Structure 1
């Protein structure tokens, strides 16, 4: 196993903050790599070494977690939320969301509705 370098931990934490600040935009791995000043291949290895999660999974999971919160706590349409988090289409959002949460966004909203 590769030794995690302290500067890589600091870099990954800074990139997580940057991702959080831009989570409502379409974020490509190339964008994050450019921000970090690394090739996307090297950055993906560094990110996974530090977090045990791929960069793509991290970005997708952050977007889905925030989308799930909005489904629970707002009346925004599924289409609006899909667009807000930069998914290509509502169908893509529904497919990815359903794979992670084992139910569609609409079913998730209904099952988590506040009383």
Structure 2
């Protein structure tokens, strides 16, 4: 029998490998074989972060890395990580990093 922590670690690895695809909580729950409610509950118990926030934070982290390490446009990065628009990406990114993506890129060394 798997421990809850092992199941969440396996799901976390799967999520991290699939961040470039659309990921809904329902999809992750189906992969885990749990209802979305149960998965969210045990995910929070183990990680102390909600499943949705984990996915969003990981995507933002990879997007921030791409802003610094690539010359991809902000729009390309936004769509790459599943945001519906550049505006949505900019709003979410700015709320998380306290800088809009272009300023973050310039501040961290890559200039358009």
TM-score (norm 2): 0.94
Structure 1: segments with no counterpart, 5+ residues: 1-5
Q: Does 1:53 align with 2:46?
A: no
Pairing 1:1-115 to 2, within 5 Å after superposition:
7-113=3-109
Structure 2: segments with no counterpart, 5+ residues: none
Q: Distance in 1 between matches of 2:102 and 2:38?
A: 38
How large is the Cα RMSD of the aligned pairs? 1.3
Q: Distance in 2 between matches of 1:73 and 1:22?
A: 20
Q: How many residues align?
A: 110
Is the contact made by 2:25 and 2:52 (CA closer than 8 Å) also made in structure 1? Answer: yes
- Secondary structure class of the residue paired with 2:109: coil
> Cα–Cα, structure 1 residues 114 and 80, in superposed 2: closer, same or farther, change >3 Å?
closer
- Secondary structure class of the residue paired with 1:76: coil
The runs of at least 4 consecutive aligned structure 1 residues that moved more than 4 Å come to none
* Aligned-residue offset at 1:25: 0.9
